[in-house]
Structure 1
Amino acid sequence: MDLVTVTPRLHMFRFPIGQAYLWVDEDGLTLVDAGDVNAAAPIEEAVRGLGLDPAAIRRIVITHGHRDHYGAAGELAARHGAEVIAHRLDAPVIRGEAPMAEPVLLEWELPLYETALTVPQAPPTRVDREVGDGEALGFGDGAVAVHCPGHTHGSLAVHLPRHGVLFTGDSVAGVGRVMVGVFNTDRERALASFRRLAALGADTVCFGHGDPLTEDAAAVMKASADRDSGLQVEHG
């Protein structure tokens, strides 16, 4: 696992497939996603390497119910007393009570999907709080949940308006170029969610896959959402 410091209060944990983020408040730590089932110990080690205590992890926000995003959440929550938060539509999947809807794959996504399936299965994981669009998440000086369906029915972005930070989960990807995420259950809804997230105008955008976007983020997000949606953009 690689540790990348994005800002003094924001750090990224990069795994062989996917990544998670740590946000630092004075009164505690928040994880946005938690990697796969083997990620708990590396996350704890990285937190200690930052001079922080994993026991200060107060909450884990799961952006959606795919195995590479919540595999270690249950172990970390049990060990440190953290609250696990997810959107109400993906919470049953994370708990193991319902199957995840299958993606509708484009032809070029097929070989990528086979690679994604090599991530270990995630165990059923408790969800302590189910949230919906616009609900406060209790960290980051006013972080709010943004429902962004399309990748999964209950995909969730996390917006920190006071800090200009946006966590997109897999609704948007930054691998090679900024683009709508892959393996979507509903591509049209995913594109609409991409446009909505771009309209938030964040200065720092953190993806589930790919490097964080820290330069001209608002403009890049808008141009990328317009491109993927096939919108005609007039330039003055």
Structure 2
Amino acid sequence: MRIHRIAARETNCYLLWGRRGVILIDAGPPGSAATVIAGMKEAGVRAEDLRLILITHGHLDHYGAAAEIQEWCGAPVAAYPGEPEFSQDRRNALPPAQTLRGSLVRWTYMLLSPMARFAPLEADILLEDKAALLDYGLEAWTVLLPGHSPGSLGVVTPDGDLFAGDLFVNYAVPSQPLYLSDPEAWQRSYERVLELRPRMVYVGHGEPFPGVDLDPIYPARYQYRWWVR
């Protein structure tokens, strides 16, 4: 399966090619639609090729540009039904931080995000756990991975690729995200991922990494410490 990453500021968006079309995983923050659309065009994707925009979770940096991208291509937006609605009042919704740095970033985000301008978004399609994506041209299925947010949704391909949203980050070493809505749910999701034994893990922030690097996953405080390996 062909996979192409588009950097929308600090958020990774991914294009996946199926036999009958292309899907986009995550859409980037407000103001990044032009970057994402340009990235799709550079990868050879036309508006009519895009079958689905799948949002892994309801944080602004992952869905803020989705409405503009949808206006360009007309593809439906999908998310997990247990995830809070995508709307203007979600802009300050970040779960508790695990580190001092995370707390500072969270407060800065809460201070500045009301100035962001973006179109509110509603999911056209609600995808449950283990939902097949064949109707959208892709041989893959969803996997529910709560912890970073209540309804975080990942995607698994037959080749063993896992698109994990913000369940993990990988700036220096694979680690927990700065923010967890439910640490116990995160642990259960981590254990589920270990059972999946993915070949590659594609994250929302940082670099993709081999599945063999899932054990261990470092605490959030080690995110930028390359020397811990």
Runs of 4+ in 1 over 3 A off after TM superposition: 95-102, 114-123
Tell me the TM-score normalized by structure 1. 0.81
The residue identity in structure 2 corresponding to 1:137 is: L
CA contact (8 A) 1:84 1:129 kept: yes
Deviations 1:66-110 (A, max 9, x none): 0010111112223212011100011x4215587876512224321
CA RMSD across the alignment: 2.3
The residue number in structure 2 matching 1:145 is: 142
CA distance in 2, matches of 1:204, 1:220: 9
Q: How far has the Cα of 1:12 moved from its partner?
A: 0.7
CA contact (8 A) 2:99 2:178 kept: no
Partner SS, residue 94 of structure 1: coil
Larger RCO of the pair (alpha carbons < 8 Å, separation 6+): 2
The sequence identity of aligned pairs, in percent, is 30
Unpaired runs of 5+ residues, structure 1, are 1-7, 229-236
Instruction: Give matches, 1:168-179, under 5 Å.
Output: 168-179=164-175
Q: Among 106, 109, 121, which residue is 2:98 paired with?
A: 106
Q: Compared with structure 1, are the counterparts of its residues 102 and 75 closer, same or farther at alpha carbon in structure 2 (3 Å cutoff)?
A: closer
The residue identity in structure 2 corresponding to 1:184 is: L
The residue number in structure 2 matching 1:62 is: 55
The residue identity in structure 2 corresponding to 1:125 is: L
Unpaired runs of 5+ residues, structure 2, are 220-229
The residue number in structure 2 matching 1:37 is: 30
Partner SS, residue 184 of structure 1: coil
Tell me the TM-score normalized by structure 2. 0.83
The residue identity in structure 1 corresponding to 2:129 is: D
Q: Compared with structure 1, are the counterparts of its residues 131 and 141 closer, same or farther at alpha carbon in structure 2 (3 Å cutoff)?
A: closer
Partner SS, residue 216 of structure 2: helix
Q: Compared with structure 1, are the counterparts of its residues 96 and 143 closer, same or farther at alpha carbon in structure 2 (3 Å cutoff)?
A: farther
The residue number in structure 2 matching 1:72 is: 65
State the aligned residue count.
214
The residue number in structure 2 matching 1:94 is: 86
CA contact (8 A) 1:95 1:127 kept: no
Matched, 1:204 2:200: yes
Partner SS, residue 16 of structure 2: strand
CA contact (8 A) 2:25 2:54 kept: yes
The residue identity in structure 1 corresponding to 2:164 is: T
CA distance in 1, matches of 2:129, 2:93: 20
